[in-house]
C-alpha cells in the first residue's frame, strides 16, 4: 500500500481547533494514488508532545488522551457510512500524528444555526433524519458516540446537494471492547447535551453511558435545530446540570407540534423510556415528525434548500 507523508500535501487554512491540535485543510500535490479518493482532506493534527504531557496528568484530569487518539483512529477505520466522516490514511512526523479525514466544505450545524437561527421545518426534518441514520448505524455496530452536538455535525456538498456527516469519535465507546459487566462510565460529553444518567441523577442506575445517552443528546439537537437555541440554558454549568436532572425545559411559542412530541418522547429522564430505546430504530423512523421521510438512501436524495 502506498504510504503518504506530510510532504505529499499542500497545507491550507485551519478548519478548526480540536482539543489536541488543529484540523487543517490539505490537498494532495500529485494526483491521488487511489481513484476513489477526494483531492481535499480535513487533516487532524495531534501533537505528540501535548499527548504525552496530558498523559502525565491523567490522574488529575481523568482523560486518557492516548486512548482517545487510538479510539478515534480505530473506530473511523472500521466504520463506513455515508453519514460518518471517513478516515483515508494516517501518517506521522517526529512531532505530530495526522489523520486525513473527508473534508466537509459547508461548516458545521452549530455555525449554520448561529448564522440562520432555526431551520425551516422541511430542511430540519431532512438533516435530522440523516443524523438519526448516523446514530442507527453506529448503534447497530455497537458504538456509542457520547458527544453528539451541533459542532460535531458537519455539512458538505456532494452530487445530490448538501449532506450531513458526524465527526469526532475521540470519546466514542466501542461497546465490544467492554469486558464482562463493565460499563462505559466516564462523563466525556459536552455540558449542554449531557444526559441525566451521566450526571448520576438515578443512584440505582449509576453513572454510565448507554445507546440512549446519544438519543438524549440528539433530542437536544432536534430542539436546537427547530428553535434556534438549545433546550437547557443556564448561567453556569452547575445550574444547567440541575435543569437537566429535573428535565426543566420548555418550548418557545410556535415550535413545530410534531417536533415537540418527538423531543418530549426522546427527552425522558429514564434511558429505557426514551423513544427508540433498546435500539428500536423503527420507533423513531415511524414518528409522525418523520412522516414525509423516505429513509432509504437519504444521502442520494436531493435535500430541501436551507434558507
Contact call for residue 15 and ligand ADE (CB under 6 A): yes
Any contact of residue 83 with ligand ADE (CB under 6 A)?
no
Closest distance of CB 20 from ligand ADE, Å = 13
Does the protein bind ligand ADE through residue 85 (CB under 6 A)? yes
Does position 143 interact with ligand ADE (CB under 6 A)? The reply is: no
Q: State yes or no: residue 166 binds ligand ADE (CB under 6 A).
A: no
Nearer to ligand ADE, 85 or 198 (CB): 85
Do the beta carbons of residue 143 and residue 173 sit within 8 Å? yes
> From the CB of 248, what's the least distance to ligand ADE, in Å?
32
Q: Which of 252, 249, 278 is nearest to 264 (CA)?
A: 249
Q: 21 or 231, CB closer to ligand ADE?
A: 21
16 scored as a contact of ligand ADE (CB under 6 A)? yes
Q: Is 45 marked as binding a ligand?
A: yes
Among 71, 89, 104, 133, contact with ligand ADE (rule: CB under 6 A): 104
Of the pair 104, 220, the CB lying nearest ligand ADE is at 104
Q: What are residue 193's phi and psi, to 5 degrees?
A: -110, 5
Name residue 28's beta-bridge partners. 9
Helix axes 65-78 and 48-56, enclosed angle (nearest 10)? 130
Binding status of residue 82 toward ligand ADE by CB under 6 A: no
Range in contact with ligand ADE (rule: CB under 6 A) among 97-105, 203-211, 240-248, 283-291: 97-105
Residues 246-265 that bind ligand ADE (CB under 6 A): none
Q: Are 177 and 74 in contact (CB under 8 A)?
A: no
Q: Which of 176, 157, 175, 177 is nearest to 165 (CA)?
A: 157
Number of shown-chain residues binding ligand ADE (CB under 6 A):
11
101 touching ligand ADE, by CB under 6 A:
yes
Minimum distance from residue 265 beta carbon to ligand ADE (Å): 31
Residues 24 and 15: beta-carbon distance below 8 Å: yes
Distance (Å, whole) CA 121 – CA 227: 10
Minimum distance from residue 168 beta carbon to ligand ADE (Å)? 7
**Residue 84 touches ligand ADE, criterion: CB under 6 A:** no
Q: Give the C-alpha separation, 277 to 19, whole Å.
A: 31
What order of strands is seen across the sheet that includes strand 96-102? 9-17, 22-28, 40-47, 96-102, 87-92
Provide, rounded to whole angstroms, the least separation between the CB of residue 162 and ligand ADE.
13
Pair 102, 86: CB distance under 8 Å = yes
- Residue nearest to ligand ADE according to CB distances in the complex: 42
State the Cα–Cα distance between residues 305 and 288, nearest whole angstrom. Answer: 22
Looking only at residues 24 through 43 of this chain, which bind ligand ADE when binding is defined by CB under 6 A?
42
* Binding flag, residue 167, ligand ADE (CB under 6 A): yes
Please report the DSSP string for 208-249 in residue order.
Answer: -B-HHHHHHHHHHHHHHHHHSS-S---SSHHHHHHHHHTT--
Name the minimum Å distance from CB 220 to ligand ADE.
20
132 binds ligand ADE (CB under 6 A): no
Q: 9: closest CA among 39, 37, 51?
A: 39
147 is catalytic: yes
Q: In this structure, are residues 98 and 113 in contact, taking their beta carbons and an 8 Å threshold? A: no
Binding site residues, as ranges?
45
Which residue numbers are catalytic?
Answer: 147
Query: Given the rule CB under 6 A, which residues bind ligand ADE?
Result: 15-16, 23, 42, 85, 101-104, 154, 167
Binding site residues for ATP, as ranges?
45
Amino acid at each position: 500500500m502506498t504510504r503518504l507523508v506530510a510532504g505529499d500535501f499542500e497545507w491550507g487554512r485551519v478548519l478548526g481547533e480540536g482539543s489536541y491540535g488543529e484540523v487543517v485543510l490539505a490537498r494532495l500535490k500529485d494526483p491521488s494514488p487511489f481513484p476513489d479518493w477526494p483531492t481535499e482532506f480535513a487533516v487532524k493534527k495531534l501533537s505528540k508532545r501535548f499527548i504525552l504531557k496530558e498523559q502525565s496528568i491523567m490522574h488529575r484530569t481523568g482523560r486518557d488522551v492516548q486512548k482517545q487518539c487510538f479510539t478515534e483512529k480505530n473506530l473511523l477505520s472500521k466504520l463506513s457510512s455515508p453519514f460518518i466522516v471517513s478516515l483515508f490514511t494516517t501518517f506521522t512526523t517526529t512531532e505530530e500524528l495526522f489523520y486525513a479525514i473527508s473534508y466537509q466544505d459547508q461548516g458545521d450545524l452549530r455555525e449554520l444555526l448561529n448564522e440562520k437561527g432555526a431551520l425551516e421545518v422541511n430542511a430540519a426534518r431532512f438533516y435530522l433524519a440523516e443524523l438519526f441514520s448516523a446514530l442507527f448505524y453506529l448503534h447497530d455496530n455497537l458504538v456509542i458516540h457520547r458527544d453528539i452536538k451541533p459542532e460535531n455535525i458537519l455539512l458538505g456538498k456532494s452530487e445530490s446537494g448538501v449532506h450531513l456527516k458526524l465527526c469526532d469519535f475521540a470519546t466514542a465507546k466501542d461497546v465490544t471492547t467492554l469486558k464482562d459487566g463493565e460499563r462505559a462510565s466516564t462523563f466525556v460529553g459536552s455540558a449542554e447535551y449531557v444526559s441525566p444518567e451521566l450526571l448520576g441523577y438515578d443512584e440505582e442506575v449509576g453513572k454510565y453511558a448507554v445507546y440512549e445517552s446519544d438519543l438524549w443528546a440528539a433530542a437536544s439537537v432536534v430542539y436546537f435545530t427547530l428553535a434556534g437555541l438549545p433546550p437547557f440554558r443556564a448561567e453556569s454549568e452547575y445550574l444547567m446540570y440541575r435543569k437537566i436532572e429535573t428535565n426543566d425545559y420548555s418550548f418557545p411559542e410556535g415550535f413545530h407540534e410534531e417536533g415537540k412530541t418527538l423531543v418530549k418522547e426522546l427527552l425522558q429522564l429514564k434511558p429505557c423510556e426514551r423513544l427508540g430505546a433498546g435500539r428500536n430504530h423503527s420507533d423513531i423512523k415511524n414518528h409522525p415528525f418523520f412522516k414525509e421521510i423516505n429513509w432509504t438512501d437519504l444521502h442520494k436524495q436531493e435535500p430541501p434548500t436551507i434558507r
